[in-house]
Amino acid sequence: MKRNVMVAGMVIGFLLSLGFSAYAEEIRVGGGGAACNTVFRPVKPYFEKATGLTLTVMQSSPKNGLIDMINGRLDAAVAAVSLESMIKGADADGVKVDPAAVQKTEVAKNRTVVFLHRDNPVRKLSKDQLKAIFTGKVQNWKEVGGKDLPVIVVWGKASPGQNAQFTKEILDGETVTKDKLDSTDYAGIKQDVSANAEAIGIDPIGLADDKVSIPETPDVSSPVLMVTKGKPSPNVQKLIDFVKGEGRQYIK
């Protein structure tokens, strides 16, 4: 009887050790949707297969990713906006981040593209045309070579970094039209565009699929960053090396 109890105890202990080992091998990254959808979700299965590590991707926002990383809930914050804007956002939420205490690593590039309904025949839009559309000066697609349909501008409420960059680079700082369809996050923007033949919106290239059409437009891109407390841990460094090496082929 004692021998059986000992054996059972050894088996349970071994199984528990496996569980703890598996947990210890998890890498948790999170933050901006552009970074998550363009880089980390696409590379996740290939990275896990190549390394045996588990990659958990937790999408929120750049500043929330930084806050979660500072508070120990993430191993790295990821974003397609500057570290300065992440720190500023965290500060607005009452979380002070010392820039000297964190380290940023650029791992890829994100490109913000224009999404149209897949039946929209427009294949190219200049900066001037985009500016006129998003500020409300162009209100019908026939004005830019499309069908005789009113333009619906889809604008995300939960994509502040993307909105700010597009506003600065394409709209020259002008305000987006008030006559717009307010959407939610990146996924919501794509869903709203794909559901409305008159719609136009912006999203990370990583979300593109056959549900939407992407016209040729001026380039709007930004670095994808990984931010850690000090030097990246060995496992996080493995992820960085993979993304910048073999994983590049899986990034959209």
Domain count, the chain: 2
Is residue 8 very low, low, confident or very high in pLDDT (cuts 50, 70, 90)? very low
Predicted local distance difference test score (pLDDT) of residue 160: 86
Looking at the structure, do residues 137 and 49 belong to the same domain, yes or no?
A: no
Phi, then psi, of 208 in degrees rounded to 5: -65, 140
Looking at the structure, do residues 25 and 59 belong to the same domain, yes or no?
A: yes
The residue range of the domain holding 45 is: 2-110+223-250
Looking at the structure, do residues 37 and 83 belong to the same domain, yes or no?
A: yes
User: For 118-145, what is the mean pLDDT?
Assistant: 98
pLDDT in tens, 38-63: 999 999 999 999 999 999 999 999 99
Predicted local distance difference test score (pLDDT) of residue 21: 42
Looking at the structure, do residues 38 and 51 belong to the same domain, yes or no?
A: yes
Predicted local distance difference test score (pLDDT) of residue 173: 98
pLDDT at 252 over 60: yes
pLDDT at 23 over 80: no
Residue 247 contacts by C-beta under 8 Å, 6 or more apart in sequence?
43, 46, 47
Looking at the structure, do residues 56 and 119 belong to the same domain, yes or no?
A: no
Looking at the structure, do residues 65 and 126 belong to the same domain, yes or no?
A: no
Contact 170, 131 (CB under 8 A): yes
Predicted local distance difference test score (pLDDT) of residue 18: 47
DSSP assignment letter at 82: -
Looking at the structure, do residues 214 and 236 belong to the same domain, yes or no?
A: no
Looking at the structure, do residues 140 and 214 belong to the same domain, yes or no?
A: yes
Higher pLDDT, 10 or 171: 171
Looking at the structure, do residues 212 and 124 belong to the same domain, yes or no?
A: yes
Looking at the structure, do residues 104 and 162 belong to the same domain, yes or no?
A: no
Question: Half-sphere exposure (CA, 13 Å, Cβ side) for 222?
Answer: 25
Q: What is the CATH number of the domain that holds 152?
A: 3.40.190.10
pLDDT in tens, 82-113: 999 999 999 999 999 999 999 999 999 999 99
Q: Which of 225, 220, 172, 229 is nearest to 32 (CA)?
A: 225
Looking at the structure, do residues 158 and 231 belong to the same domain, yes or no?
A: no
pLDDT in tens, 229-239: 999 999 999 99
Looking at the structure, do residues 183 and 232 belong to the same domain, yes or no?
A: no
